[in-house]
Amino acid sequence: MAQILIHEVGPRDGLQAEAQVVPTETKLGWLQRLVGSGLDIVQVGSFVHPQKVPQMADTDALFRQLAATKRSDDAVLSGLVLNEKGLERGMACGVEMFCMGVSASATHSRKNTGMDTEDATRRIITTALEAQRAGHDVQVSVQSAFGCGFEGAVPESRVMGIVAAYLEAGLTAISLADTAGHAHPAQVGAYVRRILAMEPTARVTAHIHNTYGVGMANVYAALEAGATSIEASFGGLGGCPFTKVAAGNVATEDIVHALQRTGQRGDIQLDTLIAVARDVAAFFGRDLPGCVYKIGPIAAAPSV
């Protein structure tokens, strides 16, 4: 198994559904610790209308402050964009990796972007190619890839149709997002293998929610099938505010802890991740879904 990349999405996916807005300085403190912790990628925020997602109103300012002090060995700074305007904002403030996607659920797509899946696919591909031409890393995703809280089952053919459109356009970094948390391990593994059969050089990421308690099993199913990157959130916080049941992600520190127990990713500062998760829980005044930040880690095996 190749080294597994960890993409921390807590500052965006973790916070976006929270009604209590986190002050910019507090958020910046969390981000600075995450960016320097050995994680590979940290998603700073999303470029959305502040009235729709008030928590993301300071995304531009956060990118500017982080970019101004970034070291060469810090995590890549990623940002989520939904359209051309978001891309323009991201290019102006220091985004290094652009993440953008299309929902395989027509209902979720309309609630999330105001577009149907077909129109959204065309628009996202155009936007992604523009970002690539400007020299940025780009990851495209299929949201609600494993099911939808509004529609239920989503046909595999619809998911793979979006993937095929991405690959045809030359976009090979692809994330499968379990937005509604409906995925099960056999399905996750089959979808990852299907993408790699379509394009063996594709870089597949799994974005897993733990809505029904099978999040970690789905993470391992994705990795065993050939995914090389996992998106996760501090403390397991998160959930799309435009899906039916907004439930948390798999916790970043839980995944890193599991990997380190088998001698992998010893370069990531697990104590820093745990400390951030504890600070986030203290800020919101409640327990988060994650496990390791609450009970502490088991000593790691020697690195390999």
Label residue 256 left, alpha or beta by phi (over 0 means left) and psi (-120 to 50 means alpha). alpha
Q: Is the dihedral of CA 47, 98, 74, 292 positive or negative?
A: positive
Tokens coding 17: 């559904």
Contact (CB, 8 A) for 254 and 290? yes
Q: How far apart are CA 143 and CA 127, in angstroms?
A: 17
Half-sphere exposure of 194 (CA within 13 A, CB side): 15
Radius of gyration of the chain (CA): 18
Catalytic center residues: 240
Tokens coding 219: 């993470």
Residue corresponding to tokens 């502040």 = 50
Q: How far apart are CA 127 and CA 114, in angstroms?
A: 16
Contact (CB, 8 A) for 290 and 211? no
Tokens coding 20: 């209590």
Taking the CB of residue 212, how many other CB atoms lie within 10 A of it?
14
Q: How far is CA 214 from the centre of its chain?
A: 17
User: Where does 44-174 have alpha helices with state H?
Assistant: 59-69, 84-93, 106-113, 117-133, 156-168
Integer CA distances (angstroms), 150 to 96, 106, 180, 218, in order: 34, 9, 9, 21
